[in-house]
Structure 1
Amino acid sequence: MPAILFGIGGYVGNYWHEYADILVPLFVAARRYHGEVTFLVSNIQHMPRWLVKYRALLQGLSKYGVVDMDRDAYVRCFPRVSVGLRLDKDLSIVPELVPGARLTMADFTRFVRETYALPRGAVTMEPYKKPRLLLIPATRLEHRSRTGAGGPPHHGRLYAVRARDLRAPTRSSDHGAVQEAAAAVDPAGVVVTELRHDGSEVEQARVVNSFDVVLGVHGAGLTNAVHLPPGGVLIQVVPYGKMEPMARFDFSEPATDMGLKYLDYSVSAEESSLLEKLGPDHPAIKDPDSIHRSGWTTMYQFYLMQNVRINTTRFAPTLEQAFNHLRKQ
Structure 2
Amino acid sequence: MQRIKELTITSGPSGPECEVQHNSRAIVFSAGGYTGNVFHDFNDGLIPLFITINSIYKNQDAVLVVSKARDWWLNRYKNLLHVFSSHPIVTLDNDTSTHCFPSATLGLMSYGFMALMPNSSQTLLHFRGLLDKAFGHHGQYSIFNSPPKSDSPPRLVFMSRSKGIGREILNQDEAVKVAKEIGFDVILFEPTGKISLQQAYGLINSSHAMVGMHGAALTHSLFLRPGSAFMQVMPLGIDWVGKMCFGEPARAIGIQYIEYKIKVEESSLVEKYEKNDMVIKDLASFQGRNWSSDVMKIYLKEQNVKLDLVRFRDYLMETYSKAKTFMEKMG
TM-score bracket for the superposition, by shorter chain length: 0.7 to 0.9
Aligned residue number for residue 312 of structure 1: 309
Aligned residue number for residue 80 of structure 2: 57
Aligned-residue offset at 1:126: 9.0
Structure with higher RCO (Cα < 8 A, 6+ apart):
1
Letter in 2 for 1:177: A
SS at match of 1:308: coil
Distance 1:18 1:140, change over 3 A: farther
Aligned residue number for residue 13 of structure 1: 36
SS at match of 2:323: helix
Residue from 98, 102, 115 that aligns with 2:134: 115
CA distance in 2, matches of 1:323, 1:255: 17
Aligned residues: 289
Letter in 1 for 2:273: L
CA distance in 1, matches of 2:209, 2:129: 18
Runs of 4 or more consecutive aligned structure 1 residues displaced over 4 Å after TM superposition: 31-35
1:74 and 2:97 aligned: yes
Residue from 252, 258, 264 that aligns with 2:247: 252
Identity percentage of aligned residues = 29
Aligned-residue offset at 1:304: 1.1
Computing the radius of gyration over CA atoms, which structure comes out larger, 1 or 2? 2
Which digits, 9 at most, give the CA deviation of each residue in 1:26-77, with x for residues without a partner? 1233356657321111122xx4311111011111221111112234333322
Aligned residue number for residue 324 of structure 2: 327
Distance 1:68 1:275, change over 3 A: same
Bigger mean CA offset, 269-278 vs 319-328: 319-328
Residue from 124, 127, 151 that aligns with 1:105: 124
Aligned residue number for residue 205 of structure 1: 201
Aligned residue number for residue 289 of structure 2: 294
Residue from 178, 181, 187 that aligns with 1:180: 178
Q: Which runs of 5+ in 2 are unaligned?
A: 1-23, 140-147, 327-331
CA distance in 1, matches of 2:68, 2:206: 35
TM-score by length of 2: 0.79
CA distance in 2, matches of 1:40, 1:52: 16
CA distance in 2, matches of 1:118, 1:231: 20
Bigger mean CA offset, 290-299 vs 57-66: 290-299
Which digits, 9 at most, give the CA deviation of each residue in 1:253-289, with x for residues without a partner? 1111122111111111111111123343443223333
1:268 and 2:266 aligned: no
Distance 1:40 1:140, change over 3 A: farther
Which digits, 9 at most, give the CA deviation of each residue in 1:205-249, with x for residues without a partner? 2122222111111110100111112211221111123x2122111
Q: Which runs of 5+ in 1 are unaligned?
A: 142-153, 161-172
CA distance in 2, matches of 1:38, 1:180: 50
Letter in 1 for 2:67: S
Bigger mean CA offset, 125-134 vs 302-311: 125-134
Aligned residue number for residue 186 of structure 2: 192
TM-score by length of 1: 0.79
CA distance in 2, matches of 1:52, 1:307: 33
Letter in 1 for 2:322: H
Distance 1:90 1:281, change over 3 A: closer
Which digits, 9 at most, give the CA deviation of each residue in 1:107-143, with x for residues without a partner? 11111112212489xxxx99833111112122489xx
Aligned-residue offset at 1:159: 3.0
Letter in 2 for 1:246: V
SS at match of 1:293: coil
CA distance in 1, matches of 2:40, 2:279: 28
